[in-house]
Amino acid sequence: MVKVGDSIPSVPVTISKPDNKVDLSQELASGKGVIIGVPAAFSPTCSNSHVPGWVASHKTGSAGKVYVLSVNDIFVVNAWAKSFEKDNTSKITFVADAGGDFTGALDLLFDASGLLGNKRAKRFVVTTEDGKVTGVHVEPDPSKVTVTDVEKVLGS
């Protein structure tokens, strides 16, 4: 599993449009960043508890670039992003890792076949600075929000 000091993998993800492939290792090469991994767009824990905390937080401004990533396709991710806010005032970027390749490179997939049909991202937060991982927080139970809560990660 990804650990403090590792580089962000150079594996393309999709942002905003189906043909817009983005390399997060380049996006996060300088300054601070946060990658929030979630198992499933539109699922209750992700939609009602975990992500809204990050979207609403006034602290994300000082956290640098903040990405919410899931192993869903870009159509689902975009529709889900819109369900939180129409104008993206939080400056959070929603990321589709449809095939799970980026999440797999972090070794943060788990088998969710029974409920979700495939391997998904664990519920995690990875913090970065200048392209290197500075913190890794993974929920032992992906249906709960404890160590990946915005207050826990960024401090109250």
Binding site for its own copies (CB under 8 A): 18, 40-44, 71-76, 78-80, 83, 97-100, 113, 115-118
- Closer to its own copies by Cβ: residue 19 or 62: 19
* Minimum CB distance to its own copies, residue 102 (Å): 11
- Closer to its own copies by Cβ: residue 7 or 83: 83
- Closer to its own copies by Cβ: residue 67 or 80: 80
22 an active-site residue?
A: no
* Minimum CB distance to its own copies, residue 36 (Å): 18
In angstroms, the CA 44 to CA 50 distance is: 9
Helices (H) and strands (E) in the chain, counts: 7, 9
The catalytic position among 2, 24, 28, 46 is: 46
Secondary structure of 75-136 as H, E, C letters: HHHHHHHHHHCCCCCCCEEEEECCCCHHHHHCCCEEECHHHHCCEEECCEEEEEECCEEEEE
* Minimum CB distance to its own copies, residue 17 (Å): 11
List, by residue number, the catalytic residues.
Answer: 46
